[in-house]
């Protein structure tokens, strides 16, 4: 049985924690065992990262770091099929998604931040002084130090390098705690880091669980200088509390209950194409996905019918088969959570327009499969409409006018992403400016310019990732004032 180890100070080592099972979500079969890191292993990883800050890594110029980051991107692409297989075995997601999104973006993130760090500016101010000679102020960017990276299971490689790439570009070192559901690609990246010539201790990986385990050991370690986390809001709160001790900054991209708003002048084909992805892609396991949909009354029936039809077009099956377009959920535990909401919807009297249950897939009976589902008819205070489900499901509610749509969309403790569908672009701009969300798409979804600020409002998080915004988190500005 394959064993997945921790990666500390450039070497693969067994942790002192338990060996836990890693399952292929499409069948439920155990395909590898993972060596969990104990507290002393996390301490060893943080010590290696801290020591590396004073080693060869610190003496590299920005240009030399850029060269290494590009080599890491090349290293991932050179082993594309290995990363693809590892990601699919951990997540069960179809190759049609992982080969077009997860692995390419997992590599691209290193080039994106190599470009960004090459052109980042700071600031300088000349000031007058009483003696008339004046003084010059200039700011310099310094790496924060050791960054704790706690990343999620839905886009494992993509969301981990979305943090590691800018952290390294800015001269930091990292200790990564992947989700216990998806340990493989972060571990494989250790081999690529060594081959690319990244000095030992710059990139470290420790496996295990959250509270009372590896995640907690890492986020409460006194030598971790900052923590970045993507995942559920409750875990984000715990990490933020841990970071408070020692006054460490956090970057939190958390949960959401993202609304979509469809006005009656929307282009139906464009809208259904976009919502067909935002509601169901990656089996609904995308933090930016749409789980609440508000449709203007005049076209409600048409949108409901077409979206339900789109839900029925998804093809289950072997995740390695390019014709498969929907995989299982990440685990049996997560499937129980999602199906509990499917039951709540039924019990609440929802009208089920598509799905609502579990598909039977020959040869994959042991997998964590659910049907893509469309509901209507529930009240806005239903848990199905309030809570983040993180499954391939959405609830549709009609509205009459713009004010009502905005009120419905904003009525949530979350504020991560929204999509607005209308051919009246002054309305698109106007409504976008009134939605309490970090990201709003108009007549599109998941179009990603990686220079833009990415992150959530309210309980969806703190801080922004992307472009210069990542550099703001992974560096500390210091001002120098020189008397002339
Ligand atoms: O596209 C990105 O950079 C990104 O962060 C995606 C996040 C999806 C979360 O589920």
Can you tell me the mean pLDDT for 417-440? 98
- pLDDT value of position 343: 98
Cα–ligand 1 centroid distance for 159 (angstroms): 6
- Residue 171, sorted as left (phi over 0), alpha (psi -120 to 50) or beta, turns out to be left
Task: Spell out the long-range contacts of 94-99 with Cβ–Cβ below 8 A and sequence spacing 24 or more.
Answer: 94/319, 94/321, 94/322, 94/324, 94/325, 94/326, 94/327, 95/319, 95/320, 95/321, 95/322, 95/324, 96/322, 96/323, 96/324, 96/325, 97/281, 97/282, 97/327, 99/322
Cα–ligand 1 centroid distance for 253 (angstroms): 9
Q: Is the four-CA dihedral 186, 110, 217, 465 of positive or negative sign?
A: negative
**What would the two tokens of residue 223 be?**
């030598």
Atom 9 (ligand 1) nearest CA: 287
pLDDT tier, 6 (very low <50, low <70, confident <90, very high otherwise): very high
pTM of the shown model: 0.98
Can you tell me the mean pLDDT for 322-347? 98
Residue 156 host element (H or E): helix 156-169
Atom 4 (ligand 1) nearest CA: 159
Atom 6 (ligand 1) nearest CA: 159
- pLDDT value of position 252: 98
Can you tell me the mean pLDDT for 10-32? 98
- pLDDT value of position 263: 98
DSSP3 helix / strand / coil % (the chain, rounded to 5): 40, 25, 35
Cα–ligand 1 centroid distance for 216 (angstroms): 24
Cβ 155 under 6 angstroms from ligand 1: yes
CA 59/CA 49 separation, integer angstroms: 15
Q: Kindly give the number of the ligand 1 atom that is closest to the alpha carbon of 466.
A: 3
Cβ 153 under 6 angstroms from ligand 1: no
- pLDDT value of position 48: 99
pLDDT tier, 480 (very low <50, low <70, confident <90, very high otherwise): very high
- pLDDT value of position 81: 98
Cβ 445 under 6 angstroms from ligand 1: no
Cβ 378 under 6 angstroms from ligand 1: no
Cα–ligand 1 centroid distance for 56 (angstroms): 32
- pLDDT value of position 449: 98
Q: Kindly give the number of the ligand 1 atom that is closest to the alpha carbon of 230.
A: 9
Based on its alpha-carbon atoms, the radius of gyration of the chain, rounded to whole angstroms, reads 23
- pLDDT value of position 361: 97
- Ligand 1 pocket test, candidate residues 101, 111, 162, 441, most atoms within 8 A of CB: 162
Atom 5 (ligand 1) nearest CA: 159
Q: Which of 390, 45, 296, 358 is nearest to 187 (CA)?
A: 45
The residues assigned a catalytic role are 253
Cβ 448 under 6 angstroms from ligand 1: yes
Cβ 162 under 6 angstroms from ligand 1: yes
pLDDT tier, 42 (very low <50, low <70, confident <90, very high otherwise): very high
Which residue carries 């990732």 as its tokens?
465
Q: Which stretches of 178-289 are assigned E, i.e. beta strand? A: 203-205, 226-230, 250-253, 258-262
Cα–ligand 1 centroid distance for 44 (angstroms): 30
- Ligand 1 pocket test, candidate residues 102, 158, 461, 466, most atoms within 8 A of CB: 158
Which residues make beta-bridge pairs with 461? 253
Can you tell me the mean pLDDT for 330-338? 98
Distance of CA 341 to the CA centre of its chain: 23
Q: Return the ∠ at Cα 8 (arms to 114 and 244), rounded to 5°.
A: 75
- pLDDT value of position 94: 98
Atom 1 (ligand 1) nearest CA: 448
Cα–ligand 1 centroid distance for 300 (angstroms): 29
Please list, residue by residue across 305-327, b when 16 or more beta carbons sit within 10 angstroms of its beta carbon and e when fewer do: ebbbebbeebebbbbeeeebbbb
Question: pLDDT per residue over 286-315, tens digit each?
Answer: 999 999 999 999 999 999 999 999 999 999
Q: Kindly give the number of the ligand 1 atom that is closest to the alpha carbon of 282.
A: 10
Looking at 356-480, list the stretches that DSSP marks H as alpha helix, in order from N- to C-terminal side: 383-386, 402-410, 425-432, 467-474
Looking at 424-466, list the stretches that DSSP marks H as alpha helix, in order from N- to C-terminal side: 425-432
Spatial CB neighbours of 272, under 8 Å, sequence gap ≥ 6: 303, 306, 307, 310
Cα–ligand 1 centroid distance for 365 (angstroms): 30
- pLDDT value of position 378: 98
- pLDDT value of position 82: 98
- pLDDT value of position 278: 98
pLDDT tier, 474 (very low <50, low <70, confident <90, very high otherwise): very high
pLDDT tier, 475 (very low <50, low <70, confident <90, very high otherwise): very high
Question: pLDDT per residue over 146-186, tens digit each?
Answer: 999 999 999 999 999 999 999 999 999 999 999 999 999 99
CA 74/CA 196 separation, integer angstroms: 9
Give all domains of the chain, ordered by start, each with its CATH number: 2-254+460-483 (3.40.605.10), 258-442 (3.40.309.10)
Question: pLDDT per residue over 198-252, tens digit each?
Answer: 999 999 999 999 999 999 999 999 999 999 999 999 999 999 999 999 999 999 9
**What would the two tokens of residue 447 be?**
């179009």
Residue 271 host element (H or E): helix 268-280
Cβ 154 under 6 angstroms from ligand 1: yes
Cβ–Cβ < 8 Å for 306, 273: no
CA 320/CA 94 separation, integer angstroms: 6
ipTM: 0.97
Cβ 452 under 6 angstroms from ligand 1: no
Could you give phi then psi for residue 358, rounded to 5 degrees? -120, 130
Cβ 454 under 6 angstroms from ligand 1: yes
Cα–ligand 1 centroid distance for 230 (angstroms): 9
- The mean predicted confidence, pLDDT, of the chain is 98
């Amino acid at each position: 049985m394959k064993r997945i180890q921790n990666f500390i100070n450039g070497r693969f080592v067994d942790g002192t924690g338990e060996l836990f099972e890693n399952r292929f979500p499409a069948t439920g079969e155990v395909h590898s065992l993972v060596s969990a890191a104990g507290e002393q292993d996390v301490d060893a990883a943080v010590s290696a990262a801290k020591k590396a800050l004073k080693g060869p890594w610190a003496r590299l110029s920005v240009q030399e770091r850029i060269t290494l980051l590009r080599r890491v991107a090349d290293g991932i692409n050179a082993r594309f099929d290995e990363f693809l297989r590892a990601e699919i075995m951990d997540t069960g997601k179809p190759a049609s998604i992982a080969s077009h999104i997860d692995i390419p973006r997992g590599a691209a993130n290193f080039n994106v931040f190599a470009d960004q760090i090459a052109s980042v500016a700071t600031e300088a101010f000349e000031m007058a002084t009483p003696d008339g000679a004046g003084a010059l102020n200039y700011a310099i960017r310094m790496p924060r130090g050791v960054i704790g990276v706690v990343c999620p299971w839905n886009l494992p490689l993509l969301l981990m390098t979305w943090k590691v790439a800018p952290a390294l570009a800015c001269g930091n070192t990292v200790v990564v705690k992947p989700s216990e559901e998806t340990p493989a690609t972060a571990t494989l990246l250790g081999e690529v880091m060594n081959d690319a010539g990244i000095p030992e201790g710059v990139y470290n990986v420790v496996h295990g669980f959250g509270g009372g385990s590896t995640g907690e050991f890492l986020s409460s370690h006194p030598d971790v200088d900052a923590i970045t986390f993507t995942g559920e809001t409750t875990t984000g709160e715990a990490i933020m509390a841990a970071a408070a001790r020692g006054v460490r900054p956090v970057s939190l991209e958390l949960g959401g209950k993202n609304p979509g708003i469809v006005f009656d002048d929307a282009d139906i084909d464009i809208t259904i194409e976009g919502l067909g992805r935002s509601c169901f892609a990656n089996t609904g396991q995308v933090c930016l996905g749409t789980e609440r949909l508000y449709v203007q009354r005049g076209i409600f029936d048409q949108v409901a019918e077409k979206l339900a039809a789109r839900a029925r077009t998804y093809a289950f099956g072997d995740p390695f088969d390019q014709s498969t377009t929907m995989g299982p959920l990440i685990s049996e535990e997560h499937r129980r959570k999602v199906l509990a909401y499917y039951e709540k919807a039924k019990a609440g009297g929802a009208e089920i327009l598509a799905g609502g249950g579990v598909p039977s897939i020959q040869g994959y009976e042991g997998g964590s499969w659910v049907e893509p589902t469309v509901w209507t008819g529930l009240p806005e205070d239903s848990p199905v409409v309030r809570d983040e489900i993180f499954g391939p499901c959405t609830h549709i509610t009609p509205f009459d006018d713009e004010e009502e749509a905005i009120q419905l969309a904003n009525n949530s403790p979350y504020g991560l992403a929204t999509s607005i569908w209308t051919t009246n672009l002054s309305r698109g701009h106007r409504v976008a400016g009134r939605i309490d969300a970090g990201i709003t798409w108009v007549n599109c979804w998941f179009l990603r310019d990686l220079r833009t600020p990415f992150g959530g409002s309210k309980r969806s998080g703190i801080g922004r990732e992307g472009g210069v915004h990542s550099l703001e988190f992974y560096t500390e500005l210091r001002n120098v004032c020189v008397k002339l």
